[in-house]
Structure 1
Amino acid sequence: MTRYEILAATDGSDYARKAEIAAMKITRSYNIHMAAIYVAVAHKDSEREELVAKGEEVLSRVVETGARMGVDVQKILVGVSMQRMPKIGVRADTIARAILDAAGKYKVHTIVMGGKGESEINPELGSVAEAVVRKARCTVLVAR
């Protein structure tokens, strides 16, 4: 199994795009391996399929940007169906857990992610970024 020193978590938002570029610059500078992860979490299978399709588009764009920058980016697409989300924050925790699981599986050195996602309304640190920062066993770089 390939080890990725950099894992860029993305949802396609503006902050995520900044994180993607930062991850690619680090990857190119140190000549290391990088992967980008998109986590699609939905209540229904049909919603998840739509989000998985969006994730494919986002990750393909990341790979293309990487190629233009001279960086080989591998894609990790995770789809999760949750029939119920009983309390606030479960979605963010589920996304954070998927990111952290991938980081552990691929022995990632640094997770790079945006400070808040496309659905965040809080101007402070987003809920997924906060959960990843709190629980990560590796370095986390948050782009703002």
Structure 2
Amino acid sequence: MKMCKVCRKKPRVERRVDSAGNVFCSNECFEKFEDGPDDFSHPYIDDYDMLRIAYIDWMQNYEGDLHKSIYFGYPKKSDLLEWLDETMDPYWDYYGLAGSDGIFSEEIFFYIKELLGLQETIREWQVDERKYRKWLKELRAKQLAAKALKD
């Protein structure tokens, strides 16, 4: 795996690429890099940015959403799976290209494959009592902090 062009960290969920194939660990490192190409005129940049943002959101929040489904009864697994389908729906043409039309096409293909894997994870998900208790503790702390701000 390529390391971040700026800080040399291993890119994770928030990774980003430019049209020259440079890899960055985050938007911050991407913005610090001064010798990069002008990606804003690339035909796939908007689709890449939109799906990248959606991907980050899903990967950071899906487990919390599943815990909410246990605690609040909503959203249900079926809702999450439907929303995930809606997230991927505009990008199926890129899936057909299998990443063969440049770096952004390749990245979009990667994100779709990851989101398809996430669908399987959600389908098979079972509550882990330890993680659920941790999530409840964090939820209660947020609720208490919000209440303290009101008072």
Could you say which structure has the higher strand fraction? 1
Could you say which structure has the higher helix fraction? 2
TM-score normalized with structure 2 length: 0.29
Structure with the larger RCO, 1 or 2 (CA within 8 Å, 6+ apart): 1
> Max radius of gyration: which structure?
2
TM-score normalized with structure 1 length: 0.29
